[in-house]
């Protein structure tokens, strides 16, 4: 039996409450992993900006990018990328 088939079988055997708890645990673990430092992350005095971006919604990041472009003409990530490639 493949791992996926076994997982499906186990999920089918869960009660609704057990399934809800399992989903909550998996979502919390995923969110925690998204906030962990990874090689190449941009980290400054505000913290790990790359991890914050991974953990944030796309809409939030889009709005922040718009505000930065209005205020500075480019996003801070664009500026850091440009500066680090020079």
pLDDT digits (tens, 9 = 90+) for 45-54: 888 888 888 7
Q: Are 35 and 55 in contact (CB under 8 A)?
A: yes
pLDDT digits (tens, 9 = 90+) for 26-64: 878 877 777 788 899 888 888 888 888 877 776 677 888
Tally of CB atoms within 10 A around 14: 13
Evaluate if pTM is beyond 0.95. no
- All structural domains of the chain with their residue ranges: 3-84
Q: For residues 79 and 83, what is the distance between their CA atoms, to the nearest angstrom? A: 6
DSSP label of 48? E
Tally of CB atoms within 10 A around 75: 17
């Amino acid at each position: 039996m493949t791992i996926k088939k076994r997982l499906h079988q186990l999920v089918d055997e869960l009660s609704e409450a057990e399934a809800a708890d399992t989903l909550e645990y998996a979502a919390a673990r995923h969110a925690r992993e998204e906030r962990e430092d990874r090689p190449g992350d941009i980290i400054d005095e505000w913290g790990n900006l790359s991890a914050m971006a991974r953990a944030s919604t796309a809409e939030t990041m889009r709005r922040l990018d718009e505000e930065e472009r209005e205020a500075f003409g480019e996003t801070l990530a664009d500026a850091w990328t440009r500066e680090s490639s020079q």
